[in-house]
Structure 1
Amino acid sequence: MASQFSYPPEITGKRKLYALLNGVKDPLGVISGNHAIFGDSYYLKASFTDKKFIFTQDKEFIEYILKQNHKNYFKSEIQSITLGKYLGNGLLTNNGKDWLQQRRLIQPGFSKAKIANLVSIMDEEIDKVFQPFDREPEVDLYDLFHTLAFNIVAKTLFSSDIEENEVKELGKIITEVQEVFAKEVRLPFYTQVLQALGVIKKTIQKSERSKAIIQNVLDKRRNSGEEKNDLLDMLIHSRYEDTGLPMSDQQLVDEMLILFIAGHETTANALSFIFFEISQHPDTEKKLRLEIEESGEHAFTTESLMKKSFTTNVIKEAMRLHSPAWAMDRQALEDDRFKDYSWEKGTLIILYISGLHRNPKYWDRPDDFIPERFDDENARNFAYYPFGAGPRLCIGEHFAMMEMALIVRKFYKKFHFRSHQETLEKKALVTLRTTSLRGKIIKI
């Protein structure tokens, strides 16, 4: 069947075996190594499931899948079914008409005007976390940013006070779910083993616990009778155009869970990488601090946070080198072709964003941290998609960028971070994260 199609160069033999054996432990190294050998696009046929995969770090190919011919592609079963059984049927895992309905309901909550009103709440949460820094503590910024980003999502989107122990429990569950999910995806035959050992059942039970925590937030709001004019109120009162009915509690909880996870996980991971890169580049920190000083109190206004600046350049460059959304997948609904390649219905296209962001075809000195590259007037056309592209562009892009800019500026106005690490260990699960960022906070 595949002979009717013109797939990219295929990985076979020892290299395929190597990819299979090392793909769970080091997916970034394996996929980058495959691209170095086979070029910007390659083909792999799974031995045990007979599934066909095309991996690509080619900008035009990625844009074709995400933009020009997006209607021919759904998020794959990997996300919609495998991840969906843990996280439910929210924006991240949904497809087709159902996804579009949900997107239309939620989109107004992330307009620039709505986000602009959230700065003061973000400000308050940041100050709470930064207050103890007067004592120049030894910290793990990775843990700190996860707590801070989670609290910001809870307060800004859902006006909710979640107990600290519940925040930690949710964070632990999210990590455990991602680790099991990664094994299921990268070693499909291992799913049977995980099932036999009861690991999948236990993980689903944990995800049900996370949903119970979110349901409690929803119940508290309903029982309070308060109108907060936040995203949660909007979701509760929204109605489907075709039926005039509200979302079911199950759908509400699924959407809230996805927004909690996506809203804090990727931002916290990105902040860890941003602060690490700043700690390794004193000239960048000096230039950043100068921008903050020259802007005065205006540095923390919505207008300033949302406009192009050296601060946003630093954030973008760190996310280029360490993109939390390190890969995206799409599954072909019908046979398709792009330039010299063609593939059959059901083929999975893996858009390797980490490879795209370091592809020397598009980037000068691709492995170097150079925030100034985003001063280029053509920056909008760069091979750069940390938030995706096309109709499924991340709904929270503006929210995340404003939040990260505010945290970076609030911190570097008063403090310096001396990292105890010269390198970062990366872990590629659903998102790319580090395992820690230890160092000392110094008041300036």
Structure 2
Amino acid sequence: MQEYKYPYNVSFFRFLRRSSTIAKNPIPFHNQLFKESEGNSFSIKPLFTKHIVMTRDAEMAREILQKKHKHFEKSKLQTHNLGKYIGYGLLTSTGQYWLKQRRLIQPAFHKEKINGLLKIISNTVEEQVSNFPTENLVDLYALMNTLAFEVIAKSLFNFSADKATLSRLQYIIETLQRFIVKEIRQPHKKLWYHLSGQMKSSMAMVKESRDIINTIIEERRASNDFHDDLLDMLLNAKYEDGSSMSNEQLIDEILILFVAGHETTANALTFVLFLLANHKEELGKATEEAKKFHLETLAMQSFTELTYIKQCIEESMRLYPPAWITDRVNLQDESVGDYYFKEGTMIGVSFYEMHRHKDYWEAPESFRPDRFSEENRKRTASFYMPFGAGPRLCIGNNFAMFEMQLVLQSILSKYTIETDKSTIDVNPLITLKPIGAKLKFVKH
């Protein structure tokens, strides 16, 4: 019988002593342990559960997420714990149900389908960007959060929901996310969450969010109007037997699209604009490209004109990947890299650490968009995973990239951007959230 082999072991009591600090921001703790391990992985053995492994090794990540993906599934943290708040859609489901949903929904995100949404996205972006406050430093994330929420809301529902309803939905989703992170990172406080009423309040918000979306679905089903938005696509999607999704399934998928489709984009846009404001040469090149772009000919092929802007976004997502970490649990005893893990081991893959690893990147802390030029991008493909990897690669990756390119083009063609800070803080929630970024927009 093969002996189990785990990477550098970290004392569980050491982890426990620092649990409140780690709960606030685990990234410095991870970074310290990777350095201590003198490798790319470390492990912790809690008292009553199986090993937890953390890795930044690109080859191990590809094994888990791609090559041997059938031997692994998402942990309960990503499925059950998250699903009870935002439903059991593509992000939180596993196994055959996930595969069935992926096959059903995938066509809605093909490039040709997104082509039909480009006008909605573009009009929403133009409306938002044209009304940016100017001449004073403003909270950049708040601005990008509103913009990204408007884009996903219009793309999903077009004209089916009023502003007050969508604002309430936005508030609920953001409030729930903060509570989810607390519950996941500090499970020992679970009893307190129940006794203090936080759990009850959160579940009431879950019901309210589902009721809001259900009302929108029912109104659309009763209507004969065709909006050519994502809701129309989801309503008309058919399984192999000819059946469609139930309202409950639709609500699950729509909630996932709201969470995954607006928060990650808002984060990424905040980071890239902040980085550009701090790198004048790169900002100049991106601005020049933005001014040459013609919205009148908007179509998929026109995005080839925004090559450098795309490189800036990709380099920003290397430094600050919105989905900064993922996990998997092995369904059987499994060899991964140089190790042999017992069935049920939870393996965390830190994209944040992988994207800043000195073995993979030259000057990893520097902002260098040319890393993603046509001649360079093939070299970095095996250790660059901003949208995950393998069959569970983010379904909305094309949608997000086109949206972000349009937003940057719109902003840079209208405004000069400035900031008073050179560094940005992060809050690693479910996604990597920027903290304290302020920007000034000055009209050209």
Query: Is the TM-score greater than 0.5?
Result: yes
Q: CA deviation at 1:88?
A: 1.0
CA distance in 1, matches of 2:236, 2:108: 12
Letter in 2 for 1:184: E
Residues 161, 436 of structure 1: alpha-carbon distance in 2 compared, 3 angstrom cutoff: farther
4+ residue stretches of structure 1 with deviation over 6 A?
none
Q: Match for residue 140 of structure 1?
A: 139
2:290 to 282, 289, 292: 292
Letter in 1 for 2:403: E
Q: Is the 8 A contact 2:181 2:430 kept in 1?
A: yes
**Residue deviations 1:150-192, cap 9 Å, x none?**
1111222332443333333223322222222222222222223
Corresponding residue for 2:333?
335
**Partner SS state of residue 439, structure 2:** strand
**AA of the residue aligned to 2:145:** H
> What is the aligned partner in structure 1 of residue 432 from structure 2?
432
Does residue 1:267 correspond to 2:282, yes or no?
no
- How many residues are aligned here? 441
- 1:301/1:231 CA distance change after superposition, 3 Å: closer
Aligned counterpart, 1:362: 360
Query: Contact (CA 8 Å) 1:57, 1:355: kept in 2 or not?
Result: yes
Q: Distance in 2 between matches of 1:230 and 1:8?
A: 48
For residue 205 of structure 2, what is the amino acid of its counterpart? K
State the shift of 1:201 in Å.
2.2
CA contact (8 A) 1:154 1:161 kept: no
* Distance in 2 separating the partners of 1:408 and 1:273: 12
Aligned to 1:7: 6
Q: Closer, same or farther in 2 for the Cα pair 1:425/1:134, shift >3 Å? A: closer
**1:385-396 residue pairs with structure 2 within 5 A?**
385-396=385-396
1:135 deviates by: 5.3
State the alpha-carbon separation in 1 of the partners of residues 331 and 134 from structure 2.
Answer: 57
Q: Give the Å deviation of 1:15.
A: 4.0
Query: Residue in 2 aligned with 1:411?
Result: 411
1:45-444 residue pairs with structure 2 within 5 A? Answer: 45-47=45-47, 49-133=48-132, 136=135, 138-242=137-241, 244-295=242-293, 301-305=299-303, 309-375=307-373, 377-382=375-380, 383-444=383-444
Secondary structure in 1 aligned to 2:92? coil
The 8 Å contact of residues 59 and 337 in structure 2, kept in 1 or not, is answered as: no
- Give unpaired runs (5+ residues) of structure 1: none
The normalised TM-score by structure 2 is: 0.94
Give per-residue Cα distances to partners, 1:318-354, cap 9 Å, x unaligned: 1111111000011111110123201111111101010
> CA separation in 1, counterparts of 2:30 and 2:133?
44
CA contact (8 A) 2:61 2:349 kept: yes
Mapped partners of 1:416, 1:378: distance in 2: 29
Partner SS for 1:23? helix
- 8 Å CA contact 1:306–1:401 kept in 2: the answer is no
Secondary structure of 1:24's aligned partner: helix
Q: Deviations over 1:123-151 (max 9, x none)?
A: 21112112234854543221121111111
- 1:24-43 mapped onto 2 (5 Å cutoff): 24-38=23-37, 39-43=39-43
Q: Counterparts of 2:153 and 2:98 in 1: how far apart (Å)?
A: 23
How far apart are residue 437 of structure 1 and its match?
Answer: 2.8
Change in 2 beyond 3 A, CA 1:213/1:306: farther
Counterpart Cα distance in 2 of 1:176 and 1:118: 29
Q: Distance in 1 between matches of 2:284 and 2:267?
A: 23
What is the aligned-residue RMSD (CA, Å)? 2.1
Give the drift of 1:26: 1.4
Cα deviation for residue 306 of structure 1 reads 5.2
- Judging changes above 3 Å, is the alpha-carbon distance between structure 1 residues 237 and 123 closer, same or farther for their aligned structure 2 residues? closer
Distance change in 2, residues 1:79/1:133 (3 Å): closer
> Could you tell me the percent identity over the aligned residues?
38
Partner secondary structure for residue 329 of structure 2: strand
| Residues 381, 246 of structure 1: alpha-carbon distance in 2 compared, 3 angstrom cutoff | same
Amino acid at match of 2:256: I
State the AA in 2 paired with 1:241.
E
Residue identity matched to 2:225: E
Moved more, 9-18 or 299-308: 299-308
Please report how far the alpha carbon of residue 305 of structure 1 lies from its aligned counterpart in structure 2 after TM superposition.
Answer: 1.8
CA contact (8 A) 1:421 1:439 kept: no
Larger mean CA deviation between 129-138 and 406-415 belongs to 129-138
Deviates most, 289-298 or 25-34:
289-298
Distance change (3 Å), C-alpha of 1:40 and 1:307: farther
Contact kept? 1:306, 1:402, Cα under 8 Å: no
Secondary structure class of the residue paired with 2:8: coil
Distance 1:154 1:171, change over 3 A: closer
| SS of 1:91 mapped into structure 2 | coil
